[in-house]
Structures are given as structure tokens and as C-alpha cells.
Amino acid sequence: MAINTSRRAALKNMVGSAALLSSPMTLTEAFAASDKALGPELKGRIKQSVCRWCYSKIPLEDLAREAKAMGLQSIELLGPNDWPIIQKHGLTCALPNGAGMGIEKGFNNPIYHDDLVASYEALFPKLVEAGLNTVICFSGNRKGISDEEGLVNCTIGLKRLMPSAEKYKITLIMELLNSRVNHKDYQADKSAWGVELCKRVGSERFKLLYDIYHMQIMEGDIIATIKRDHQYFGHYHTGGVPGRAEIDDTQELNYPAIMKAIVETGYQGYVAQEFIPKRPDPIASLKQAVEICDV
């Protein structure tokens, strides 16, 4: 008779045996209990993260425990004070908060360049010390700045940072956001604009955060865009459209198909869940999303 020597099978046998000895539960119930104790056995072709702000009502320690149990590898959009909290639970911060002045004041306006460069250069050593290698950044709002002028200004500001980013091996990742619903006047609101910026900056240490929710609102054509421009995308975010709710069949995007397209590009980074749970149990919604994206 063949013996299953996998670690999971062995642990299931031990847990199941112990359960049967201590209670009258059936073998099926014992195996179910062991699966719950061990956490989900995900395919893992997509490394998954979750954005902290969507679960801000849950203490970070509790969210970290739940995230680990459901197979997530990261909680992101956190600052330096929070990194040790998740790391002690075996999680990383796939995309840390930036060091700038928020979404509206970004690299498209030269008046912010000195402060942005100084703040990011001060953050880089902290990222390295924590074992992290990415950080988010933003274009900023237009405020009358044309798309071409915004590209020129962002290129100038970001090129000032690239030598330091390359020295510390930190990748700056600029988020693409919609300017139609959530972030009125934001400049980096189209993937083509972001791709052109990547080409002008000309460094592997600058990439885009392709937020699927935001780009579905602005331009659609998600899978074709991923297949065509994936080399410029250093991170992905999810979200149900419309309403940024759960990513199941209550919304219009086919997330399993999108995840398969990402896998087919050879992408090795993270996909972060960034929807706002609408149901009474937010953790159940997050667990469902993890399973949907585990293709």
C-alpha cells in the first residue's frame, strides 16, 4: 500500500487521531477540523496580499492572524511602525505606504519634487532594514497641468530618485487611479499615460500599480491590457465594479479569468485585495476573494 508522506497528510493524520481519541467526532469531522487548523491548501500561483485600509476596524494583530490562516502572504499599505506587527505573524508588506504628501500632491508638480525626493530617500534605508523592496507613489492631481506637462514633470522628479532607488534596490510603484468616481482630477488615470511614463523614466526600479477596479472604470479591456503591457506593471489591486464591493458574481469583472491572464504573463509579484466588504462578516468576504483569485 502506498504511503502519503506529505507534511500536510501527516499533520492531518495526527490531528485526526488526536481528535478521535479526545471526542466522539467522526473521521470526516476530524479531517475537517485538521484542515481548519492547518489553513487552506492554495494553489499559490498568485501571491496574495490585502490592503489594510479596507479592514481598518479590525485590529492589525487580528487581521494578521486571519490573513495568515487563509493563505495570504502580505498586508500592505502600512508604515514602518506596523511592519514588525505583521512580520511576527510570518507576513510581509508587499507594498508599503509612500513617504510623500498623499495622493493629490505628487511628482507631476515640480513644487513638490524637493520634499518628495528627500522623504523617499529617507525611507529607502528603513525599507531595506525591514526586508522590503517596493513603495507606492502617486502622480498627483492635475490642477491645470496637461498630460504632456505631467509626463515631463514626473519624469524629471522620478529620475532624481532613480539612482537612490537603484542603490537600495527599491522599486517605486505609481498607482493608476480613476478620476471619474473616486479621485477627481488625478493625473495617472489611464494605463497608456503610465506606460509612457515608464518608458521615459527608463528604469526597472519604476513600475505601475495596475488597479483593476480603477482601470475598469476608466478604460476597461483589462485582460488585453495586462497581456500587452504587463512588463510595466509591478503590482495589482482588485475591487468589484461597480461599487468596489466583493469580487464575486455580484459585479461585472471575471476575476478568475483576469488572474489566469496575470499568471500567463509570468508575473511573480503580488495581487492585493482592495475591495470594501459590504457583508456583515468582512473576513468571510476576504476569504472568498482569496479563493476566487487562487487559480
Q: What CATH number has the domain bearing residue 182?
A: 3.20.20.150
Domain count, the chain: 2
3-state secondary structure of 183: coil
If you search the block for the grid coordinates 519624469, which residue do you land on? Answer: 155
- Do both 190 and 228 map to the same domain? yes
- Do both 280 and 179 map to the same domain? yes
- Do both 32 and 59 map to the same domain? no
- Do both 92 and 117 map to the same domain? yes
Rounded Cα–Cα distance for residues 62 and 162 (Å): 37
**What range does the domain containing 247 cover?**
39-293
Q: What is the pLDDT along the chain (295 residues), one digit of tens a residue?
A: 333 334 344 434 444 444 434 445 444 444 344 444 334 588 999 999 999 999 999 999 999 999 999 999 999 999 999 999 999 999 999 999 998 789 999 999 999 999 999 999 999 999 999 999 999 999 999 999 999 999 999 999 999 999 999 999 999 999 999 999 999 999 999 999 999 999 999 999 999 999 999 999 999 999 999 999 999 999 999 999 999 999 999 999 999 999 999 999 999 999 999 999 999 999 999 999 999 999 9
Q: CB count, 10 Å around CB of 239?
A: 28
286 and 50 in contact (C-beta within 8 Å)? yes
Rounded Cα–Cα distance for residues 71 and 67 (Å): 6
233-237 and 206-211 beta bridge pairing:
parallel
220 and 178 in contact (C-beta within 8 Å)? no
- Do both 242 and 111 map to the same domain? yes
As given in the structure block, the three cell numbers for residue 198 are 515608464
As given in the structure block, the three cell numbers for residue 48 are 496574495
- Do both 82 and 16 map to the same domain? no
- Do both 135 and 24 map to the same domain? no
- Do both 48 and 76 map to the same domain? yes
- Do both 146 and 279 map to the same domain? yes
User: What are the CA-CA distances from residue 161 to residues 122, 203, 267 (Å)?
Assistant: 11, 11, 25
Rounded Cα–Cα distance for residues 210 and 267 (Å): 13
